[in-house]
Structure 1
């Protein structure tokens, strides 16, 4: 390990903040450094959510920093540091591990963002934002290279993500124009409908989404919140490893939702 390169915590955080333009977002949580650990970063562990299982894995693997999409301190949650919040933070602080988290900035980034990375994984051609007037549209829309049936799109999602999506078939027509937004964006189906899309893909589903898909005759796919958001943080970790010459490992903590 003596010849391994390192970067200061502040330089790595500044690089991420600038690249992701984190200060430009009004988000549900603080973006950037959430827990301050040791000054030098040699080993970076990435994951989707800073659960206890991921924190434990970072400790076991000798991480200097943990980088996630879902961090801590969400709006509306109870403020006291008790229960699982205390346990998670205590483990990070006792092991001098920094926690770096980016939520919306990591969803929308044009290179390492969750939505762009999902499109690359599936081979979807990006045509624009799901919110055309918003330069930082969270969701995207595009086209499949060739039209596919709903069953074929479901099968391609299963192959890519390792889990069968829940498919609500709003019609029996083939799919060519497709919109997507990773995570819990089932409400964005209305934006896909407004743009005349054949299908909308996201992570989760709510009871009203079924009726909306059927009555508006649009295919809807709930492909998994965790499953659709594994790729942005990996891409960011790989970018940091290449830029700073540090070690990066992605740890996938299984989550069926």
Structure 2
């Protein structure tokens, strides 16, 4: 497949053109024209690039790419080495950030809903999804499910919060900034990837369960779903590589 054609296909699938982001979505670094072998992953770290070189990949597709807003424009250090690795090996780098968070069919948040058996109802804002459990769950059972499915022990804080959970709001990655926004919706538990100091006070004072399950762990799903969709619909060799990150 042509590298520009691949970009157009995914942009169309994720409706990227209508999304305002902090980073360019799509083809970030151009490599060879013809693509048959693709490596996918969460972040375009050097470890992922090295694996792509070893596997003779034509392209890398990630959720966290390069050229973020307010990022330094100077090319030195690890940035120089990463770009040199891609350019010297003629590897295309693609990245889709917010499009892989908020899509209603193929995204990090939809993956979490499927993984945790959440009945997806709608959105509180473009980034925060909400849904229900049928039957309701004890909060301890939800913690155990998250631990099993995401292969890590999440941080849970639930002082003054209900033990039986009927509904949930969630946002992959760094969604703790939306915590207060969900309170008006009578949500019993809020799940996201990261936590801030003030998050615990918000949970205590509003009596809402808060769960932080890790930025990386909550943002693997979108790229996994995209990889599978491409594999099912196009003649491409695709391998998802999980470079684990405890954060």
Per the alignment, residue 183 of structure 2 pairs with: 193
Give SS of 2:23's match. Answer: coil
Per the alignment, residue 14 of structure 1 pairs with: 8
1:31 matches 2:25? yes
Give SS of 1:127's match. Answer: strand
Q: Of 53, 71, 93, which residue of structure 1 is paired with 2:65?
A: 71
- Tell me how far apart the structure 2 counterparts of residues 56 and 255 of structure 1 sit (CA, whole Å): 17
Aligned pair count?
246
Give SS of 1:78's match. Answer: coil
Q: Of 142, 152, 158, which residue of structure 2 is paired with 1:169?
A: 158
Give SS of 1:40's match. Answer: coil
Q: Deviations over 1:50-85 (max 9, x none)?
A: 001111111111111100000000011111111111
- Tell me how far apart the structure 2 counterparts of residues 161 and 89 of structure 1 sit (CA, whole Å): 31
Per the alignment, residue 104 of structure 1 pairs with: 98
RMSD: 0.9
Provide structure 1 residue ranges, at least 5 long, that are not aligned to the other structure.
1-6, 132-136
1:205 matches 2:195? yes
1:195 positional shift: 1.0
1:172 positional shift: 4.1
Cα separation, partners in 2 of 1:138 and 1:172, compared to 1, 3 Å: closer
The 5-angstrom pairing of residues 80-159 of structure 1 reads 80-131=74-125, 137-159=126-148
- Tell me how far apart the structure 2 counterparts of residues 130 and 252 of structure 1 sit (CA, whole Å): 30
Give SS of 1:41's match. Answer: coil
Q: Deviations over 1:38-58 (max 9, x none)?
A: 111111111000001111111
Q: Deviations over 1:113-136 (max 9, x none)?
A: 1101110011100010022xxxxx
Provide structure 2 residue ranges, at least 5 long, that are not aligned to the other structure.
none
- Tell me how far apart the structure 2 counterparts of residues 78 and 169 of structure 1 sit (CA, whole Å): 39
1:193 positional shift: 1.1
- Tell me how far apart the structure 1 counterparts of residues 236 and 26 of structure 2 sit (CA, whole Å): 19
Give SS of 1:96's match. Answer: coil
Structure 1 segments of 4 or more deviating over 4 A?
A: none
1:224–1:256 CA contact under 8 A, matched in 2: yes
1:149 positional shift: 2.0
1:44–1:237 CA contact under 8 A, matched in 2: no
Give SS of 2:156's match. Answer: strand
Per the alignment, residue 214 of structure 2 pairs with: 224
1:13–1:33 CA contact under 8 A, matched in 2: yes
- Tell me how far apart the structure 1 counterparts of residues 48 and 181 of structure 2 sit (CA, whole Å): 34
